Chains A and B, each alone.
Chain A
Amino acid sequence: METQLDKVLTECLVQQDTVGALVANPQGLCLGAKGIINPNVSGIGMAISEQVAKLEPENNAPATICLYSGNKRCIIQKDGEITGIIYKHATESSNN
């Protein structure tokens, strides 16, 4: 049933610097996760994307959020009912 989802997550993981990826449903529950990522972050990721969407209520285009920490980057994008969260290694260029 989730073969397609699994395929998408696997495709995400082969991208450069990607550590982990997950997708969440509108309830903030994890639909699938691959790599080094805690499935519990699905709810918090959803909450962040919802708050960010409030910054520009007129804009219907899905916002992409990028959070930088010491050694990783977290990229969150909400598209319709699905929210994707990707963890990446922070590269030298991304820190500048």
Chain B
Amino acid sequence: MSDDINKYFNGLLQKVSGLYVIQITDRDGVPLLHVSQEKNVDFALMPSFIPTFTTACDQAGKLGLGRNKTIISMYSNYQVVQMNKLPLILTFVGAENCNTGHILALEHQVEAYLENIKLAVTEA
């Protein structure tokens, strides 16, 4: 099962040009799945990276626009798309010119696979 999921996310990584990393963690940043291209993007694994997103998400929820679903952060060399799929956090790291719209469109495609991981997290 986990092999299937790994294979699927590796396939996704190949489909979106300029996408370096897909990472699934729990809300504390514990990595559950990590697939990456050869390019090393270490910052996505920094211990403070995911909890910072969780905090930002909670704060953004207070703006009165409803629950925050996605945060897109553009940097000079990278772009980071993080999706709030509690109890999971989905993180995509890509090149600065990577197709953001394509990454956002993956949200619905991965839903079925996330259900399996969610189940494992909630049971643990």
Asked if A77 is at the interface of the complex by the 8 Å CB criterion, the answer is no
Which of B5-13, B35-43, B61-69, B99-107 touches A? B99-107
- A24 cross-chain contacts in B, Cβ below 8 A: 101
- A43 cross-chain contacts in B, Cβ below 8 A: 99-105
The bracket for how many chain B residues form the interface is 10 to 19
Please give the distance in Å from B19's CB to the nearest CB on chain A.
11
Most buried by A among B99, B101, B104: B101
**How far does the alpha carbon of A5 sit from the alpha carbon of B112 in the complex, in Å?**
36
Please give the distance in Å from A49's CB to the nearest CB on chain B.
10
Contact B101 A42 (CB under 8 A): yes
- A46 cross-chain contacts in B, Cβ below 8 A: 99, 101-102
Query: Within B82-106, which residues are at the interface with A (CB < 8 Å)?
Result: 97, 99-105
Please give the distance in Å from B70's CB to the nearest CB on chain A.
12
- A50 cross-chain contacts in B, Cβ below 8 A: 17, 99
Contact A28 B101 (CB under 8 A): yes
Residues of A within 8 A of B (CB): 24, 26-30, 40-44, 46-47, 50
